[in-house]
A and B are shown apart, each in its own frame.
Chain A
Amino acid sequence: MMKADVSEILVASAISKTYFDPTFGENVHALNDISLSIKAHEFVSVIGPSGCGKSTFLRIVAGLDRPTAGEIRVSGNKVTGPGADRGMVFQEYALLPWKTTQANVEFGLRLKGVARAERARIARRFIELVGLAGFENKYPHQLSGGMRQRAAVARVLANNPTVLLMDEPFAAVDAMTRQRLQEELTVITATERTTVLFVTHAIDEAVFLSDRVVALSGRPGRIVADIDIDLPRPRQWSELARDPRFQQYRDLLTAKIERTGAHVEAHS
């Protein structure tokens, strides 16, 4: 096995996944030999058509699913289960409905045994960072979808994970909110220097957010492209949407995936 570069904070080696689908009563070969390294402070998106196994890959990184073959190492440690070093933001927000914004954001710190005053301070900082100041004492059902996802991001960031995992986090919000959340996320991850592994089916979202986009083929998912996105930051939709390089990246990725015979959406 290769010796891991110290700057490579997350290393996936030859991940394959086959699972039994009880609905169709057959084995599904979801992922085929995925190897991928992510450097510290890098924002990497994994894209691919529906059912290509990109979410399965993310879940394997999170430790929520086990690979059939291969292994994940984060900061050199082999992943054997879920852990606080790999905080995940889900499409369905997954905030605890019986806790306020403040308590939700403090939750990971509370598990770590951080003192009350200290965790309140940290939580407030991240609540402010995601633009939820003033909503500390609201319960999730009192927040809009966009606000809930902001709270979910704050909850993971306050826990200071080695890598932030995001599974189509903006798929459930409306288009206007989604663009604003995407812009905010680029600012937050840049200031916090967060390492991010982001999964989406929307190519433009991946290009907009990422330093690097990894494209998977249709099932079984294997890497068909790994492209650095060399676009200036901070990024804003009003500028980037007209940037010819943005279009080129989008077209390139679309072509790469379509060549595998799968249909993809260019727009989120």
Chain B
Amino acid sequence: MTIVWWQILLLTALAFWMIIDQITVGILCNYPLLIGFVAGIIMSDIKTGLVVGATLQLMVLGVGTYGGASMPDFMTGAIIGTAYAVMTGKGIDFAIGLAVPVGLLMVQLDVLARFINTFFLHRVDKHIAEGDTKNVARNIVYGVFPWGLSRAVPVFIMLIVGNNVVSKIVEWMPQWLSNGLNVAGGILPVVGIAILLRFLPTKKFIAYLIVGFIAAAYLKMPMLGVALLGLALAIMYYKQNDNSDNNKSQSQDDGGVENELGEYEN
């Protein structure tokens, strides 16, 4: 199946919007699953979009963009992966094999966008000194363009020129590589899980990790059921610590705010 011009335009618009969404309203946010879902709707193959997005989502579960760190851009990966999976009919594994390198390369453009915005910052400084509030506001809003274009331009180019290039790659790809990509797609979620476990105070809550594992691996409980089980445990935890915390806070001063960050590092 080939891609038609309005699909290219919509996917490009999605690429522009998704990064703005991420830094503002947070509906699609930096979640490859949701981007893949929308890209699947645009390509009129929702299932492919969901599977591509879900696989990429699991790789970045615990990866955030905090303190200005860039994360692998698997949102762009989800768009490109979904589009090419539908175009070539080569399936999900091929899409993942394409989406991962694209996502990793796109990090550079995220860095570039954040860097370019420094230019607007200095123009804002200049206009503040002049007391020119109109231009202060205007230059802040200009920040939209480095953000949006850093995603939209590469997606547009890849969709326009990609048609021929990708079909060549598909012809060239040997069997062992597609087998390998298939396996890689299956185990890549471990990365996201491991990152999450590193970020969270896993040692403190290791018992709950095991409970979740038993529920799914031995009892074959569906994910929503596990989430409800976790919710019940969370409520119990909250209520139990209620009393002990009340006693503590009577003897101690409220220094709770300062301690919050430190506690995660235990």
Partners in one complex: no
